Amino acid sequence: MSRDVNDEVNDDVNGDVNRDVEQAGDLAGRAARGAAVTVIGLGARLTIQVGSVVVLARLLSPHDYGVVAMVLAIVGVGDLLRDFGLSAAAVQAPHLSNGQRNNLFWTNSAIGLLLGAVTFVAAAPIAAFYDTPALVPVTQALAGMFLLDGMMTQYRASLVRAMRFRAVAFVDVLSPAAALVAAIVFAVIGAGYWALVAQQLTGAAVGLVAFAIVGRWLPGRFDRKAPMRHLYSFGGYLLGSQLIGYLANNIDSMTIGHRFGPTPLGLYNRAFQLLMNPLNQVRAPSTTVALPVLSRAGTTPQFDRIVRAGQLTLAYPVAIGLAILIGIAHPTVEILLGDAWAQVPPILRLLAVAGIFQTLSYVGYWVYLARGLTRQLLQYSTVSAVIRITCVLVGSFWGVVGVAAGYAIAPMIAWPLSLWWLNRLTPFPVAALYRGAGRSLTIGAVAGLASAGAAWCLRDGSPWLQVAAGLLAGLGAAALLALAPPFRRDVATLRAAVTAALRRPRG
């Protein structure tokens, strides 16, 4: 593509951003409408994710999942290195020139290529760490993901920066759908764990091609005159936080794989994938919407309102949904995974507790990024990582369930610390967030107890009947509690957010 066409595309992107700034008074509405589009895509991705777990769990064994999980627990850190925090830097920057965007593309691509080569060479040491020779070819095959993901990074960031949430949602649905089809085909022909490898590679390849087509942009040459220091600085501090967080988030899988082997890790991985992957499909898109909107809101009162509404919008459905899942974990696993996965329910319950408290801390993460506090985020992430690693390692003395318990306890300790830490750095509505979290936890606890009670009363019946009764009881209890005055105000806030999401944009 010629430089003139690139300039035209850049003008289009900058024009979108300028119009966003001019419409700053409608930022809350833009956030809500972006969230509405994202939620539609989220529903499709959740369907694909759950379908993947349900279908592939019947075609593959715990050992197959354990083999691939061993590799991903280690080489997954390369995905953070490949990004280098530069996608968030591109979205958060007040102005991004065409030269800077080109440079970010080539930086991410070069890092991806280097990491792919390093991972390929490191395949043998990784296999030796787990004492599983089969990991060598698996690791070498997955090394190709780094270059694909590196090239995709700035395409996606450009769409997010321009608030083209519909295009992002489309690709985020297309790539996992294509990946699932590839995995099913390989699993049916008896490829075993190679079906999961094919799933990873197909998703990365389809995502790159789709983002490039939708983005309508081809990078130009590296521009040595474009100022990059502030972007690299932002990304570097964010990368440090993400690396620390990655180690903390994967210490459970690495510990189980190293101490107990692939089959126990496969069981844990299915519980984790059944819960955390869909949950991440909720939380990650929320940041996609929140970061560009909050970055433009600055320190205005609207910033506080968006943060408070964002917490309620995220916390209420997650707390209620995961609490109900805790109550009906056993029949749910029996339906979705089958008898071969009977050891999963207690792990799933503990991971659901972790998911609730991790979600509460997500709003603080938005504030760190929107205010450019990546150095301070690195400091807090270090403290949080120490807490999680300690809890998981201590819990591992009680086996896989002990690891899950440690994983659940850690965010219960770290979450209140996160808001206190952030409140020392920048003004934001911390007291309102504590109160909002307390209300969401209360309604979640009530829903979970009602769900568990209903399922227990029908414990000798069909698992389908237990799930239906638990779901109805949990939702009914939550609805009754929502009639109380403090909760009615939150319902009004949620209703306003939905109304804003459905309102047509001005102009």
Collect all residues with Cβ–Cβ distance below 8 Å to 485 and sequence separation of at least 6: none
**Does residue 207 fall inside a structural domain?**
yes
pLDDT of residue 497: 66
Contact between 342 and 467 (Cβ < 8 Å): no
> Angle of helix 27-59 relative to helix 329-336, nearest 10 degrees?
60
Task: Enumerate residues 6+ apart whose C-beta is below 8 A from 242.
Answer: 80, 83, 85, 381
Q: Domain for residue 293, yes or no?
A: yes
Judged on CB neighbours under 10 Å (0-12, 13-18, 19+), 369 is buried
Q: Is residue 315 part of a domain?
A: yes
Question: Which H, E and C letters describe 436-503, residue by residue?
Answer: HHHHHHHHHHHHHHHHHHHHHHCCCCCHHHHHHHHHHHHHHHHHHHCCCHHHHHHHHHHHHHHHHHHC
Reported as a single tens digit per residue, the pLDDT across 330-357 is 999 888 887 778 888 999 999 999 999 9
Do residues 441 and 356 touch, judged by C-beta distance below 8 A?
yes
Predicted local confidence at residue 155, as pLDDT: 85
Exposed, middle or buried by CB within 10 Å (0-12, 13-18, 19+), for 193?
buried
Q: Which pLDDT does position 131 carry in this prediction?
A: 81
CA 448, CA 467: separation in Å to the nearest integer?
12
**Which pair of structure tokens corresponds to residue 439?**
């209300």
- Residue 354's contacts (CB-CB under 8 Å, 6 or more residues apart) are 407, 408, 410, 411
Specify the residue for token string 């787990």. Answer: 130
Write down the pLDDT at residue 152: 86
Question: How far is it, in rounded angstroms, from Cα 93 to Cα 82?
Answer: 19
User: Residue 291: which of 228, 372, 171, 376 has the closest Cα?
Assistant: 372
Residue 507 in any domain: the answer is: no
User: Does 437 fall in a domain?
Assistant: yes
Could you give the number of structural domains in the chain?
Answer: 1
Could you give the CA distance from residue 177 to residue 171 in angstroms, rounded to a whole number?
Answer: 10
Q: Each residue of 272-305: pLDDT tens digit?
A: 877 877 777 666 666 666 667 676 666 667 777 8
H/E run at residue 177: helix 165-188
Give every residue of the chain whose pLDDT is below 50, as ranges: 1-25, 505-507
435: tokens are 């109160």
Q: Is residue 93 part of a domain?
A: yes
User: For the segment 226-239, what is each residue's pLDDT rounded down to a tens digit?
Assistant: 877 777 777 777 77
Which of these, 335, 210, 286, lies nearest to 37 by C-alpha position? 286
Domain that holds residue 433: 3-502
251 within some domain = yes
Predicted pLDDT at 477: 94
Separation between Cα atoms, residue 82 and residue 143, nearest integer Å: 12
Residue 14 forms part of a structural domain: yes
Other Cβ atoms less than 10 A from the Cβ of 233: the count is 15
Give residue 445's pLDDT. 94
Q: Give the pLDDT confidence of 382-441 residue by residue, as tens digits.
A: 888 889 889 999 999 998 899 999 999 999 998 888 888 888 888 777 888 888 889 999
Strand ranges in 105-154 using DSSP code E only, listed in sequence order: none
Length of the chain: 507
Token duo for residue 307: 């943060």
